Amino acid sequence: MTTINTARRAFLRGGADRVEHRVPWAVAAFTEVCRRCDDCIKACKESVLVVGDGGFPTVDFSRGACTFCADCVGACEHGALDPGLAQPWSLKAHVAESCLSMRGITCRACGDACTARAIRFQLQTGGRAVPVVNESICNGCGSCIATCPIQVIQLEEAA
């Protein structure tokens, strides 16, 4: 079976800035095992799973957060998702320097939306507060992304 390089495909299609994230609990050989049947997408109660590049299911955090209910895992009959994995994924939130709070504009939408309380605001001189992500607490659910008014939060693979 052919291996698909999604980063290269996105670059060639002019979407190099757009990062697609696999569904939670995706196995290492996901693109070889997934049959693109869309059963996991149909099972997602939060409607954050969508058809991505090449027809593979991906997570669209602009639609909301993943609650890690594992309904997608239960719907997958091909072994592309493994509930036995220690973590659903290794994604962690990263707030860009262009954040409103970092520019002195009061906004704490991401901190309010974070149910894990991984985003806290640290006071700086001059009364401004900057967001600080505690990566040991962040579960990568994406609840902070849809609520950010200027879309400067990204989920990135933890090192």
For domain 6-75, which architecture applies? 2-Layer Sandwich (3.30)
Fold matches, 6-75 and 91-157: yes
What's the chain's average pLDDT?
90
Please give the CATH number for the structural domain made up of 91-157. Answer: 3.30.70.20
Between the CA of residue 97 and those of 94, 138, 154, 159, what are the distances in Å? 10, 19, 12, 20
Burial (CB count within 10 angstroms: exposed 0-12, middle 13-18, buried 19+), residue 121: middle
Task: For residue 79, give every residue at least 6 positions away whose Cβ sits within 8 Å of its Cβ, in sequence order, or none.
Answer: 27, 33
Domain boundaries, the chain: 6-75, 91-157
Bridge partners (DSSP) listed for residue 157: 91
Q: What tens digit of pLDDT does each residue of 7-39 get?
A: 565 566 555 456 789 999 999 999 999 999 999
How far apart, in whole angstroms, are the C-alpha atoms of residue 71 and residue 80? 13
Question: Where does the pLDDT of residue 133 fall: very low under 50, low under 70, confident under 90, or very high at 90 and above?
Answer: very high
How far apart, in whole angstroms, are the C-alpha atoms of residue 139 and residue 83? 16
Max Cα separation, the chain? Answer: 58
HSE-CB for 93 with a 13 A CA cutoff: 31
Can you give the pTM of this predicted structure? 0.82
Is 117 a residue whose pLDDT tops 90?
yes
